[in-house]
Amino acid sequence: MDFRYLGNSGLKISEITYGNWLTHGSQVENEQAVRCVRAALDAGVSTFDTADVYANTAAETVLGGALASERRESLEIFTKVYFPTGPKGHNDTGLSRKHIRESIDASLTRLRTDYVDLYQAHRYDHETPLEETMQAFADVVRAGKALYIGVSEWDADQLRAGHALATDLGIQLISNQPQYSMLWRVIEEKVVPASEELGISQIVWSPVAQGILTGKYKPGQQPPEGSRATDEKGGADMIKRFMNDETLTAVAKLEPVAKDLGLSMAQLAIAWVLANDNVASAIIGASRPEQVTDNVKAAGVRLDADVLATIDDALGGIVERDPGKTVSPETRIV
């Protein structure tokens, strides 16, 4: 496993982060989830990402149990706050001081730890003054409940404003967690340049585009039984944007590229996002331990310029690049 610094900080994280969105506490039985975490640990993964909203808090509980016997100092544990949890009352959502204060304590209890290494704003909250949010995060850091602050799916202007307030408050905002893959490159035009300027790294989710870039979906064919595209509770809505013959035909052109490099399609996709210097880590999820074992082999793989150009030529005009696609909800989701 290779490691990278997270933003302009002294914190190193593994190039592969194990995340449990859509799996722990919902799709995957707890015993199987623990085996996936164990596979990640065995492969050298030290960084684990979750959120209070995943499976309405159950994912944090499962991850906390799976990591309970590990040396805490050897792990980097990340979680998030914003989306509604619990009974989803009027204050059970957003980035208000009340919700942040209550959420961090509940997350720490479920994760069985005294602190998280990174506490992330899961989306931008347009209904709470940013000053209130950042002051609440600063209080969390000063209380020793989080070491660093991050965000998820913030645009360039939001990153600049949040970073300025964090700096004034004496805390470090060091990361953004966006969707990023060969097919979804909306952060490249504005978010990445702003992040490089501010000393913020990307921890990217869905590097294999919800499974599209694994090659399992074929043009003109029905999706495999039990795959994400057939699971209405497991992300089928998100994958629909890619489930068309034009995209699947273009993705199929990557198979000989991966084969020539001795990589699986998933490994190629993960290595591709890691080729971006502003990316500190790629988040992988899994429903089976062997998926973890396969995907982590992308760590340390370096793709040369010719390979990157070949990938761009193969995918052509199907790549989404519109920076306007980085959008947080205008109103809180309850």
Q: What is the pLDDT of residues 20-68, one digit of tens each?
A: 876 655 556 778 888 999 999 999 999 999 999 988 898 999 999 999 9
What is the distance between the alpha carbons of residues 56 and 50, in angstroms, rounded to a whole number?
Answer: 11
Contact between residue 18 and residue 9 where contact means Cβ atoms under 8 Å apart:
no
- For 302, the 3-state DSSP assignment is coil
Mean pLDDT score of the chain, rounded to an integer?
90
Active-site amino acid positions: 54
> May I ask the CATH architecture of the domain 10-325?
Alpha-Beta Barrel (3.20)
| pLDDT for residue 228 is more than 90 | no
Q: How confident is the model at residue 234 (pLDDT cuts 50, 70, 90)?
A: low
- 3-class DSSP state for residue 105? helix
Q: In percent, how much of the chain has pLDDT > 90? A: 73
Q: Which two tokens stand for residue 178?
A: 């966006």
User: What 8-state DSSP symbol labels residue 205?
Assistant: B
Three-class SS state of 161:
helix
Cα dist from 294 to 80, 104, 283, 297, whole Å: 27, 33, 14, 6
At 216 the pLDDT is 77
pLDDT (tens digit per residue) in 280-304: 999 998 888 999 999 999 999 999 9
Q: Are 321 and 312 in contact (CB under 8 A)?
A: no
Say if residue 138's pLDDT is above 70: yes
For residue 253, pLDDT beyond 80: yes
Q: pLDDT (tens digit, 9 = 90+) per residue, 184-216?
A: 999 999 999 999 999 999 999 999 998 889 877
Contact criterion met (CB below 8 Å) for 198 and 248: no
**Two structure tokens written together for 242:** 């890619």
74 class by beta-carbon count within 10 Å (0-12 exposed, 13-18 middle, 19+ buried) = exposed
pTM: 0.91
Q: How far apart are CA 75 and CA 217, in angstroms?
A: 35
Measured distance CA(315)–CA(116) in Å, rounded: 38
Q: How many CB atoms lie within 10 A of CB 280?
A: 26
Helix (H) or strand (E) holding 281: strand 279-284
Structure tokens at 124: 């931008």
All structural domains of the chain with their residue ranges? 10-325
CA–CA gap between residue 74 and residue 234 (Å, rounded):
31
